[in-house]
Structure 1
Amino acid sequence: MKDKIIDNAITLFSEKGYDGTTLDDIAKSVNIKKASLYYHFDSKKSIYEQSVKCCFDYLNNIIMMNQNKSNYSIDALYQFLFEFIFDIEERYIRMYVQLSNTPEEFSGNIYGQIQDLNQSLSKEIANSMMNQR
């Protein structure tokens, strides 16, 4: 049930943002009572933090899968970028965009994760470009 709550919360947060998503919304999306959410999570904040972690794990996994490939051709780079931009589930992209509207209490941790993700992506692009020479 915990995974289903997070899965549905990602969709809701990606559509409505943190402030626009209520615990009632999350509970209804998984067909449980709001009070039942507290069995799995202690607050909306903890659901959001877990949702953000899941989003970053998903995006980092895509980058890591590409790093495990030994083919660093320009064509492989184009394919990776195309897949990164167009094949990612839309809700993860929307969630990533919503992070710019994250309340102050989350911003430090989230911005650090965004920087880490951007560095991984930049490193992957740089490796591909360097191996073309």
Structure 2
Amino acid sequence: MPDSNTKDQIIKSMLNTAFYKSAGETSLANIAEGVNIKKASIYNHFNSREHLIEETCRSCKEYIEQISFIPSDIDSVSKKYPAETVLKGIVDRYFKMHEKQPLIQIYTFIQSQKYFTPEVMDIIQAQKTALISQTEKVLLSLIQNEKINLDSNDVHSTAMWFCSAINDMLSNYLLERKKDMLPFPEKNADKMANAKSDDAAIEKINAYIEKFAELLK
């Protein structure tokens, strides 16, 4: 019976290698090298390269579905802090999650595959829906704690507007982060995690949140 741990390691190697070479340029030999196995051994776990791509997409979907960028005690947080602080906190958490492994590899992979693999578009849409839904919870909590002046009927559209801007900023931010990470070998995860942040981009994001919070007073 194929080893499930080795299967997971192959998928991880696929994501890691694709981060540096792109999914299209990643060969089975590259992936096998990352797991320290022979290329032929990959076929013990996957029928073909296409099957590996499908399973990698499935793994990405499962990981993304478990993510929450809002704290479990959001009501307590909203009660304690002003809206601007709360929004900056959740966006900072969202960005930091995407800066680190494995989410930055997953994000890069699904973005590179969205025009080639139909299942990936479903993953991206589900991710957007989850982000909007979680943002709605934050806005409702801020309304309940009288931190913002927003009609509950406008929560969904406001969350969509906010998330659209944040996702655009995230995409640009991660593009710059990836440029910083590319010179480092994949195996050196510490250097990847400690690559210099784009302070100018962070300032721009915070300025947007400040204006957004100001509009909701």
Could you tell me how far 1:94 is from its partner in structure 2? Answer: 4.1
User: 1:22 is aligned with what amino acid?
Assistant: S
* 1:12 has 2:23 as partner: no
SS in 1 for 2:22: helix
Deviation for aligned residue 1:99:
2.8
Q: Does residue 91 of structure 2 align to residue 81 of structure 1?
A: yes
> C-alpha separation between the residues in 2 aligned to 1:103 and 1:132?
35
**Of the two structures, which has the highest relative contact order with CA contacts closer than 8 Å and spacing of 6 or more?**
1
Aligned: 1:111 with 2:121: yes
Code of the aligned partner of 2:111: S
CA displacement at 1:110 relative to structure 2: 0.8
1:23 aligns with 2:54: no
- Closer, same or farther in 2 for the Cα pair 1:125/1:58, shift >3 Å? same
Task: Give yes or no for contact 1:15–1:94 (8 Å, CA) kept in 2.
Answer: no
Q: Is the 8 A contact 2:15 2:105 kept in 1?
A: no
Counterpart code for 1:52: C
Q: Are 2:62 and 1:57 aligned?
A: yes
AA matched with 1:97: T
Runs (5+) with no aligned partner, structure 2? 1-5, 144-217
Larger Rg: 2
Query: What is the number of equivalent residue pairs in this alignment?
Result: 130
Deviations 1:29-84 (A, max 9, x none): 11111111101111112222222222232232122x747x1424245553332122
Deviations 1:11-33 (Å, cap 9, x if unpaired)?
11222222110001011111111
Instruction: Find 2:112's aligned residue among 92, 96, 101.
Output: 101
CA contact (8 A) 1:14 1:94 kept: yes
Q: In structure 2, what residue type is equivalent to 1:118?
A: K
Name the Cα RMSD after superposition: 2.3
1:125 and 2:135 are equivalent in the alignment: yes
SS at match of 1:87: helix
Mark the runs of 5 or more structure 1 residues left unpaired by the alignment: none
Whether the 8 Å contact between 1:62 and 1:84 is mirrored in structure 2 is no
Cα distance, 1:4 vs structure 2: 1.2
Report if the CA contact (8 A) 2:114-2:120 is conserved: no
